[in-house]
Structure 1
Amino acid sequence: MKRRGIAGRSLALLVVLGLSGPPADVPAAAETPRTEWGRCPDDVVAEAAPTELQCATVHVPQDYTDPEGEQIGLTVSRLAATDPDKRRGILMLNPGGPGGSGLALSALLVSRGLPSSVTDRYDLIGMDTRGVDRSTPVSCGFTADSPYYSNIPPYAVDDAAVTAQAEIAERTAEQCADNDPDGRLRHITTANTARDLDRIRAALGEEKTSYLGYSYGTALGAAYASMFPERTDRIVLDSNIGDTHLDRDGMRRYALGMEQTLPDFARWAARRHGSYGLGRTPAQVRASYLTIAGTLDDAPVAGIDGSLFRLLTFGHLFKRTQYPRLAQTWQALREGDEATARGLRAAHGEKGGGALSPTDNALSVFLSVTCNDVEWPEDVTTYRRSVAEDRERYPLYGAATANITPCAFWPYAPAEPPVEIDTEGPRNVLLLQNRRDAPTPHRGGKMLREKFGDRARLVTVDDSGHGVYVLGDNSCALNTATRYLVVGEMPEKDTFCRAD
């Protein structure tokens, strides 16, 4: 299965009324059985190779208001600490999403250079969170030709496009309800997943857990650190969305992130004008983007319209290593290259037909978590107004990220309010944030720093892209986070890391 979340994703994916519910600090059951480790599923073994992992199943309540009721299985993985004499405990990992498979994330981090001083001291614990892939998976029944193919709504070229998208969003929400006869979708929330983390901690026989989460994994980590502060050891939150949940304002910040990140690509492309011809200056490259998008709005090339072009561009801004491919894509679509356009669609699973889409599970989990965590506006006029505002404020992508989502029509009301950040716990939250990041702009790190207060320190990195620790390439950030995980050295104040 192709990894979702921070580690890598299909470009078709990324990235209040509170009713009564269970208390935020539902404890792990005292009788939670210990885990029995064994061989991982074959696809996980293949993805992790040559790193060898062990896997196990931990059972948790589907509904924490009925802890003795139906149980669901969560698949977890372990890369055991390599030096028992130095072992500190467990380090839980989450790649983001929500909906990302994390069973092989430890192997990916090792392959990217995770320092041995970390692997000496921690059992790295990956997992598929509730509803994901190997952990009682859910499905809305999205097929390869489904009109709902991305967690980010399509760019709305005009007011009528918002109304048209509202019809798709409503049908999508109804489809999810129709494909949920057992009522599992309503229980997939950030708060419940945080409770699951604590059940896993208990099942592993640990008094506390450390945690490393990327992208949406920062919301999950922030929720856990707020619901179970006394059970947290060292918490690292990388590429922050700004709270314990993704709401409408959070999604609209994607457009801010694109405005801040595209200039890095534009400077890169301008220096290579002789090869790609996208503009001699960053301003000219930006103009090329707007021209190509507008042309494709009027005349799509082999199914690639302006909306999909904008989405492809957004996804390629996650890593600098994707810039050459993005430049090629701009070239081809500007020139009307139908063969390349068909290849782009095929590469991302949009081939048509009624077969279940390979992104069905990830899309279904994303919707469940995002829509269940917080109430979304239901009035289509609200979205039409915000699209008009953000089209002017963020011309590159604002009319997409402000567009209407299926959450406006979600069949389930939130069962409890979103988790509130707890400022009273230990000072053990290290926040890592690039200054320029398309899905999680720097503002998200600043927001979470302010909400945690003295519990947290923010490390700002003068770099571009999604992901800092190990997945990025900044020595200052790498050293700072490693020192914290290994010896517990938290910066005395917020830190700025210059570009290498």
Structure 2
Amino acid sequence: MASTLTAAPAAASGAAGTPALDWKPCVREDGPTGQECAELPVPLDYRDPDGRQLTLAVSRVPGDRPQARRGTLLVVPGGPGGSGVRRLTQKGAALREATGGAYDIVSFDPRGVGASTRANCGLDEGDRHLVTLRGWPGPNGEIGENVARARRVADACARNGGDELRSFTTANEVRDIDRFRRALGEEKLLAWALSYGTYVAAVYAQKYPRHTDRWVLDSSGDPDPARVARGWLANMSAGADGRFPDFAAWAADPAREARGLRLARRPQDVRPLVLGLAARLDREPRPSDRPGTPLTGNRLRQALQNALTSDGAFPQIAALIKQALDPDAEVVLTPDIATALSDEDAAVTVGVICNDVRWSGPAPAPYQRAVLADRARYPLTAGMPVNVTPCSFWKGAPVEKPTRITGRGPSNILMVQSLRDSATPYFGGLRMREALGDRARLVTVEHGGHVVYLGNGNACGDRAVSTFLTTGERPARDSYCAD
């Protein structure tokens, strides 16, 4: 059982040497009541704590039972590039209800994200679409265009990103969290960390174990310090392959007929249909509702990759596939593949992963071999997860040596992991579980999708996390939640 937090006043001042937070109302439409926002200055470089400062946007949803207040629960966003302020707006009310209103719930926009200090690389719009920022190979697996783009992006970021971009690292996010903790006046924090945020939270627990209490890691990746980031990307091939049968079963269900979304009579027919369509779009892209942005095979593959993270996205990818199959239909691109990322969002998306760990060198031949082998084994992702990225041309990486996650520290971590997760596949989560040893317990949720708590629809998984956060009680051993 986790240790118990000592209650602190809701308006606690910052610890000595840390600026106090000036909270102001910032209630958003469809957000939780009482949401507040503030700004937290953090050092650009923690080796010079009194030097140049950056600004983090931070937010909180105060507990609605002050008489029962136990402390502060931190939401650690995913990404890299995810906004904690947005996540708090989306989930703050549900999280407050699930934890009985006994905690102030806080989050933040990491460096480079949202309303925090940002950076840009000066990238052309064509290089900022997700389908181009990721290394989707050409129709036959050729990577020449990927290599040229990766070099171009890395060079632009080196030219234009400045010291701000170089400071976008997991290590600095961990330091920023501890500065936030001190500004909140808390000795310990609880946490709910999602996706990439689980790695951030695991590093925090490694660096600051005495400041952690009831630490939840939701949808973890492999923390191997030699492969963080590039290993997560490479694992997406098998992740998509293991998740696709859920979509195939959904898309072949007669219940889809009413909305015109049934793709095949049998689940086993959906995969060849999708692969065949992507191959045709490689040869003959379809014009879309976005002039100058056709639906290509790779744009379809990227849309599918995005949709596999949530059952709720199945209708939109099925509709896109139906449109692409009908020569008379207008192809309406889903928002995630229709427009380019902002230059700032593109910068933080590549900046953190490239700054964190050394990637393979720029020689194209090993990438070409890896792409051809991976696309033969996992055609849904066509070799993209093992292809060249801007990180192969990044200047000066890694900024710091990655942290090795170990079992040293208090046994106060609960992991929750979907059995079929396309983004952080189960086998990667098992490696995090192995690294943490007796510090953690793992709840495996049979349902598919990415990010389990308060959104996956598995009541057993939600109950396990809520119980841990509210009482400190974890399963005595690793456990399983059926769908």
Question: Once the 2 structures are TM-superposed, how far is the Cα of residue 156 of structure 1 from its aligned partner?
Answer: 3.9
Say if 2:330 is the partner of 1:339: yes
1:310 paired residue among 273, 286, 301: 301
**Change in CA separation of 1:287 and 1:381 when aligned onto 2, cut-off 3 Å:** same
Distance (whole Å) between structure 2 residues aligned to residue 147 and residue 488 of structure 1? 43
In the alignment, is the contact (CA less than 8 A) between 1:186 and 1:412 conserved in 2?
A: no
Shift of 1:256: 0.9
**Structure 2, unaligned stretches of length 5 or more?**
1-13, 288-293
Larger mean CA deviation between 380-389 and 146-155 belongs to 146-155
Could you say if the C-alpha distance between residues 46 and 227 of structure 1 is closer, same or farther in structure 2, counting changes exceeding 3 Å?
Answer: same
Q: Does 2:282 match 1:294?
A: no
1:68, CA displacement in angstroms? Answer: 2.2
* 1:95 shift after superposition: 2.6
Task: Tell me the secondary structure at the aligned position of residue 183 of structure 1.
Answer: helix
Report the alpha carbon displacement of residue 455 of structure 1 after superposing the two structures with TM. Answer: 0.4
Matched residue type, 2:232: G
Match of 2:437? 453
Deviations 1:338-363 (Å, cap 9, x if unpaired)? 632xx317x34756xxxxx5533222
Q: Contact 2:23 / 2:38 at 8 angstroms: preserved in 1? A: yes
Unaligned runs of 5+ in 1: 1-27, 352-356
Q: Once superposed, what is the RMSD of the aligned Cα atoms?
A: 2.1
2:169 matched to which residue of 1? 189
Q: Which among 33, 56, 60 is matched to residue 19 of structure 2?
A: 33
Q: Structure 2: how far apart are the matches of 1:136 and 1:61?
A: 11
Q: Which amino acid aligns with 1:35?
A: L
Higher RCO, 1 or 2 (CA under 8 Å, sep at least 6)?
1
Q: Tell me whether 1:97 sits opposite 2:79 in the alignment.
A: yes
Superimposed CA distance per residue, residues 208-233 of structure 1 (whole angstroms, 9 cap, x where no aligned partner): 11111111111111111111111111
AA of the residue aligned to 1:320: D
In the other structure, the counterpart of 1:218 is 198
Displacement of 1:106 after TM fit?
2.3
Correspondence 1:228-247 to 2 at 5 A: 228-243=208-223, 246-247=228-229
Q: Does the 8 Å CA contact 2:218/2:417 hold for their aligned counterparts?
A: yes
Q: How has the CA–CA distance of structure 1 residues 293 and 375 changed in structure 2, closer, same or farther, with 3 Å as cutoff? A: same
| Amino acid across the alignment from 1:97 | G
1:408 aligns with 2:392: yes
Total equivalences in the alignment: 457
Deviation at 1:38, TM superposition (A): 1.4
Which residue of structure 2 lines up, in the alignment, with residue 54 of structure 1?
36
1:112-164 deviation digits (Å, cap 9, x = unpaired): x33625151211111101121211111223454336534532244334x3122
In 2, Cα distance between equivalents of 1:313 and 1:392? 18
2:262 paired with 1:271: no
Per-residue deviation at 1:475? 0.9
Identify which of 112, 128, 144 aligns with 1:131. 112
2:290 aligns with: none
The 2-side partners of 1:92 and 1:476 are apart by 22
Asked if the contact 2:28/2:89 (under 8 Å) is kept, the reply is: no
Q: Are the structure 2 counterparts of residues 106 and 133 from structure 1 closer, same or farther at C-alpha, using a change threshold of 3 Å?
A: closer
SS of alignment partner, residue 331 of structure 1:
helix
Aligned match of 2:344? 361
Name the structure 2 match of 1:329.
320
CA distance in 2 between counterparts of 1:39 and 1:480 reads 32
On the 8 A contact 1:211/1:234 being kept in 2, the answer is yes
Q: 1:426 to 1:398 in 2, by over 3 A?
A: farther
Corresponding residue SS for 1:233: strand
Which one is further off, 271-280 or 184-193? Answer: 271-280
The equivalences for 1:109-188 within 5 A come to 109-111=91-93, 113-114=94-95, 116-146=97-127, 149-150=130-131, 151-159=133-141, 161-180=142-161, 182-188=162-168
